[in-house]
Amino acid sequence: MNVRDVRKRYLDFFEKRGHATIPSAPIVPENDPTTLFTSSGMQPLVPYLLGQPHPEGERLVNSQMSFRAEDIEEVGDNRHTTFFEMLGNWSLGDYFKKEQLPWFFEFLTSKEEGLGLSPEKLSVTTFSGDEESGMAADCESVTIWKEIGIPDERIFSYGTKKNWWSRAGVPSKMPAGEIGGPDSEVFYDFGLPHDARFGKECHPNCDCGRFVEIGNSVFMQYVKQADGTFKELPKKNVDFGGGLERLTAATRGNPDIFLIDVFDAARKVLDERSGRAYGTDEATTRSYRIILDHMRAASFMLASGIRSSNTEQGYVLRRLIRRSIREADKLGIKDAVLADVAEGFGASYASAYPFVQSAAQTICEELEKEEGQFRKTLTNGMRELEKMKEDIDAFLLFTTYGFPIELTEEMAKERGVALDMQAVKSKMVEHQALSRAGAAQKFAGGLADHAEQTVRYHTAHHLLLKALQRVLGPEVHQRGSNITSERLRIDFSYGQKMTAEQKAEVEKIVNEKIAEAMPVIRTDMKKEEAEKLGAEREFGATYPDTVSVYSVGPLDNAFSIEFCGGPHVSNTNELGIGGKKFKIQKEEASSAGVRRIKAVLE
Ligand code: SER
């Protein structure tokens, strides 16, 4: 079956049993600042599971777009994805275990109404109890599974780590007010030989890949109290969740979810562009899977209005894109490919999520832009990383080449080199504090705040000054500056009005440097050394013996070098995020022999 068939069969099955189909909530939760993404079907329903009446009644069913950022590193095997659709049915204080378990079994096995899976391939797990929280074992579910016909040898019991569900995990991790309960999972046995690397004996929760979880019925009946104890919810609920992609894989008898129909178009693009084929070898397959997963997730995110940035959802999107580029690179694809990979998802989801297809052009443009910028950063960073061999300095790579720390961490891992991430992180904190202190000292009255955009304008200011020197002559120097998150202003020594051509030329140079994705590097050095390098001084400033300078580009081949305390972006391409271009808004006289420019990134 394909994804559309399985989704439809599930919704029809539960509609027939009195459930109202509710639409998928957006991938970015509404009115919930505590979490970045909707990661399960129950998340938008928490108020109703807590007891509030739902307008559609007590029996609900849907297919929910879900994203789990915490699984990003897991992607690469045959069954993990960051984005997935979760099929869900809920009883809000209506039916309970006696109905839920037989219904799900019927859905899985019925040829007419369900998926027609063979009952012999199903194993189930139940909750074995927990002394610490005083929760009893779920014997009732065991009895129900036996009545359904699952033999003892395919009924397993596990503790809180496996058979207790709450968004926060085990009972002890749940914050006050969080809901949870014991659960019963169903696993499909794909019949692969057991891989002994994962333990002596195989069982449903073994990670060797033979058993894949295809559904989880949570008996959502407790809420954690402030004193750490558990209270029964006003009504006992059922919260079922099943991975649509995994269920589809089960109908095909192949555990590899990347072989289901929704990935077909994207896989073909990778075949064509890499000249390889999915499944050729482990490394190739892994790279394909990461790109397929990440580009599907990125398509849904972009279509939902998320844009790449350095914070929150935008940062996760950027990570997905950057990881994909690196994997494409490993496949030997050296030119932009992501927009082509993403193109097919619109059609695959045309009936269930038409907004993805409607956003096709935006998805394409945003991916192209981000890929272009990052490929440049990657080339520079990789070259340096190669030079470092065993002695990898992730901090230097970040501050000097804008090479993301987590990417360095992954690649060091790949080479069997362990990075001291704690040390890297404390260096980062120190670096940021230093930059802030430096900025406070030097830009008192100059830099209005440290908002992301203000920092970008600060870097644009350096680019502008150098561009002015190139166009108007080396005698141009800074006479004053004022930077806010709205614009930058520079006063500079020059006696005449600039011509339109000169202004256009300055803009062109700055925009070229943004497009070149140049690293912005801080170096601490002796004042004389900085003077020897010709670092640009701030007008009227006196400097201590040791100074910090910022260069755009490595010191020995810099576009610009200035005495400066920062803060700055780590790479000029951050100025172009969102397709922004540098523009001179105004050029006017400031005082005798001094001109003033106001400029923006827009
Ligand atoms: N909330 C449970 C899960 O995410 C079942 O829907 O697995």
Tokens at 91, concatenated:
């009883």
From the CB of 538, is ligand 1 less than 6 Å away?
no
Residue 142: pLDDT over 70? yes
* pLDDT tens for each residue of 25-66: 999 987 666 678 999 999 999 889 988 899 999 999 999 999
Cross-sheet strand order for the sheet of 488-493: 478-483, 488-493, 594-601, 582-591
CB contact set of 380 (below 8 Å; sequence gap of 6+)? 401, 403, 517, 519
Task: Give the position of tokens 């275990």.
Answer: 97
Residue pair 187/125 in contact by the 8 Å Cβ criterion: yes
Q: How many CB atoms lie within 10 A of CB 384?
A: 18
Measure 59 CA to ligand 1 centroid, in angstroms: 16
Question: Can you give the pLDDT at residue 444?
Answer: 32
C-alpha 155 – ligand 1 centre gap (Å): 20
Query: Which atom of ligand 1 is nearest to 241's Cα?
Result: 6
> What percent of the chain lies above the pLDDT cut of 90?
64
Q: Alpha helix (H) ranges present in 80-138?
A: 97-109
Pick from 39, 86, 90 the residue to mutate for probing ligand 1's pocket: most ligand atoms within 8 Å of its CB: 86
pLDDT value, residue 116:
98
Query: Which residue CA neighbors atom 7 of ligand 1 most closely?
Result: 241
The residue type of 480 is G
Tens digit of each residue's pLDDT (9 = 90 or more) over 156-210: 999 999 999 998 889 998 888 889 999 999 999 999 999 888 899 999 999 888 9
- In Å, the largest CA–CA distance within the chain is 95
Distance 241 CA to ligand 1 centre (A): 4
Round the average pLDDT of the chain to a whole number and report it: 90
Nearest CA to ligand 1 atom 3: 241
**Per-residue confidence (pLDDT) for residue 433, from 0 to 100:** 59
Listed range (188-202, 293-307, 549-563, 565-579) with the worst mean pLDDT: 565-579
For residue 40, the ligand 1 atom closest to its alpha carbon is 4
pTM: 0.69
Nearest protein Cα to ligand 1, atom 6: 241
DSSP character string of 300-337: HHHHTT----SSHHHHHHHHHHHHHHHHHHHTT--S--
Report the nearest-CA residue for atom 4 of ligand 1. Answer: 40
CA–CA distances in Å: residue 45 to residues 141, 374, 411, 502: 24, 38, 40, 60
Inter-residue contact 467 to 431 (CB < 8 Å): no
Q: Phi and psi of 484, rounded to 5°?
A: -125, -175
Q: Identify the H or E element spanning 551.
A: strand 546-552
Is there an atom of ligand 1 within 6 Å of 40 CB? yes
Residue nearest to atom 2 of ligand 1 (CA): 241
Could you check whether the bond before residue 33 is cis, i.e. omega within 30 degrees of 0? Answer: no
Report the C-alpha gap between 490 and 581 in whole angstroms: 18
Q: pLDDT tens for residues 457-494?
A: 999 999 999 999 999 999 999 988 888 888 999 999 99
User: DSSP letter at 447?
Assistant: B
Q: Check pocket membership of 240 for ligand 1, CB cut-off 6 A.
A: yes
Q: Is the CB of 14 under 6 A from ligand 1?
A: no
- Express each pLDDT in 353-384 by its tens digit: 999 999 999 999 999 999 998 888 878 887 88
* C-beta separation of 584 from 575 below 8 A: no
Residue nearest to atom 5 of ligand 1 (CA): 241
Instruction: Give the model confidence (pLDDT) of 72-82 as tens digits.
Output: 889 999 999 99
Decide: 460 and 510 in contact? Cβ < 8 Å. Answer: yes
pLDDT of res. 560: 96
Pocket-testing residue among 61, 165, 174, ligand 1, by greatest number of atoms within 8 A of Cβ: 165
Q: Is 41 in the pocket of ligand 1 (CB under 6 A)?
A: yes
